[in-house]
A and B are shown apart, each in its own frame.
Chain A
Amino acid sequence: AQSVTQPDIHITVSEGASLELRCNYSYGATPYLFWYVQSPGQGLQLLLKYFSGDTLVQGIKGFEAEFKRSQSSFNLRKPSVHWSDAAEYFCAVGYSGNTPLVFGKGTRLSVIA
């Protein structure tokens, strides 16, 4: 079965520090990969997505992610975190057509001064 693993349940970073959130997926075919962010009481907002082409993708709010097929990974990065980035981050994988997304369990990001 398809699965997404986010190994870090909770990460705390200082404001201004760099950030990397890990995501690994399991599937044999080419995956379509997504990162969503969820603030308390809010729905999921798409940060970025990878379908094909350049393996480094840029998203909103200064986020980027790199697809590494050899490692089955799609890690999310940001060079300098802002306090407003504190939220829950979900990695998800989709496949052909409008198949439902399979989500990881999420990583909660806390930002300290």
Chain B
Amino acid sequence: GAGVSQSPRYKVAKRGQDVALRCDPISGHVSLFWYQQALGQGPEFLTYFQNEAQLDKSGLPSDRFFAERPEGSVSTLKIQRTQQEDSAVYLCASSSKPGQGIPDTQYFGPGTRLTVL
């Protein structure tokens, strides 16, 4: 079946522009995560949704970052007034379970590589 998809795969933005990154999780997956992966680093958590509810946004680096999942499926990560330090790969992951107990496997998309000039 289809995995997690993300679009666009590559995005170049001028400093100060707003960008929107899309994630289509595996159909029926309840949980959705966003991670940021800087060059040469491991992914770092940004935010987590259970269905349409954003349960954890502790990893968002500033109020310029905003994420939503209004219907509990597709999610969008928006970055306002982009800055050079926002350049990274943004990964989306989904899992089938809603939470508690043993964690479920997170399935990752290919990521969106954002370059801010």
On A, residues with C-beta under 8 Å from B are: 4, 32, 34, 36, 41-46, 49, 51, 90, 92, 94-106
The reply to whether B103 and A106 form a contact with Cβ atoms under 8 Å apart is no
Of residues 30 through 65 on chain B, the ones whose CB sits less than 8 Å from some CB of chain A are 31, 33, 35, 40-45, 48, 50, 56, 59
Check if B98 is an interface residue, CB within 8 A of chain A.
Answer: yes
Chain A residues positioned under 8 Å from B2 (CB to CB): none
Main secondary structure of the interface of B (DSSP, over half): loop
The reply to whether A94 and B103 form a contact with Cβ atoms under 8 Å apart is yes
The reply to whether A104 and B105 form a contact with Cβ atoms under 8 Å apart is no
Supposing A90-B42, A105-B41, A105-B42 touch, asked if A98 and B110 sit within 8 A by C-beta, the answer is: no
Check if B1 is an interface residue, CB within 8 A of chain A.
Answer: no
Could you tell me the distance in whole angstroms from the C-beta of A62 to the nearest C-beta in chain B? 19
Known: A43-B108, A46-B105. 7 other contacts (CB 8 A): A32-B103, A34-B105, A44-B91, A45-B108, A94-B103, A97-B103, A103-B42
A100 to B13, CA, bound (A): 28
The reply to whether A44 and B108 form a contact with Cβ atoms under 8 Å apart is yes
A105 to B31, CA, bound (A): 24
